[in-house]
Homo-oligomer: A and B are copies of this chain.
């Protein structure tokens, strides 16, 4: 398209195109039902930019590798996990978001595609190799992170709050068996106070996708609670419907 680009440059566009390295960074959440805390997985950096600082687990994308493959690869390098929920979050690609852009060769940009993941704490075994620091951090205690990772984390947390309201992601982070109180605590710690416990119970139970196993557990004082299990099949009718789990 000759003669119409509104910028300070020639029309042979390739002259001014940016070259990119592409990374993926994972925001991996879990919950500690015992202590009732939302956790996020962080890793210590051992390489050049931001050495010694905590960061989201990420990697650069390799030749022939899809973005999602790369996301799974980092994950599998850090934790051994049975089930996990993974979805793409947001892409950060502005100039100057990575210090390597300035130091390295000429004009390379660093773009990152962030992914959002949920895992069950009990099923996620951290891979400690002696060298790399890796830890579940309570969200409230997350330190300043490398790169723009605090921003990415904030983005992931927003996504978590949204998804919690109208999709059954709660059951991706809760243990396989959980009490209704666990479920309620999860909602309140993430969304804040939002409903009476008693009403929450009856609403959820009426929907019919929580099955009472009959097993009772006692945690400290009080009447023992029933352990429930999420029934994905029974949930199916609500899939893709605009339903709100307040």
What mask results when residues 35 to 78 of chain A are scored 1 for a CB within 8 Å of chain B, else 0? Answer: 00000000000100000000000001111111110000100110
| One of A90-98, A118-126, A178-186, A208-216 at the interface | A90-98
Q: Are B21 and A22 in contact (CB under 8 A)?
A: no
> Which chain B residues border A17 with CB–CB below 8 Å?
21, 60-63
> Which chain B residues border A88 with CB–CB below 8 Å?
90-91
In A1-54, the 8 Å CB interface with B consists of 1, 4-7, 9, 13, 16-22, 46
What mask results when residues 156 to 200 of chain A are scored 1 for a CB within 8 Å of chain B, else 0? Answer: 000000000110000000000000000000000000000000000
A73-B16 Cα distance, complex, nearest whole Å: 15
> Which chain B residues border A4 with CB–CB below 8 Å?
77, 129
What mask results when residues 113 to 141 of chain A are scored 1 for a CB within 8 Å of chain B, else 0? Answer: 10000000000000001011000000000
Closest to A7 in B: B62
Q: Which of B67, B68, B166 contacts A242 (CB 8 A)?
A: B166
Q: Is A107 an interface residue (CB 8 A)?
A: yes
Q: Which of B46, B63, B76 contacts A18 (CB 8 A)?
A: B63
Told that A18-B65, A19-B20, A19-B21 touch, could you supply 10 new A-B pairs with CB distance under 8 A? A1-B132, A4-B129, A17-B62, A18-B61, A20-B61, A22-B109, A61-B93, A61-B109, A67-B91, A67-B111
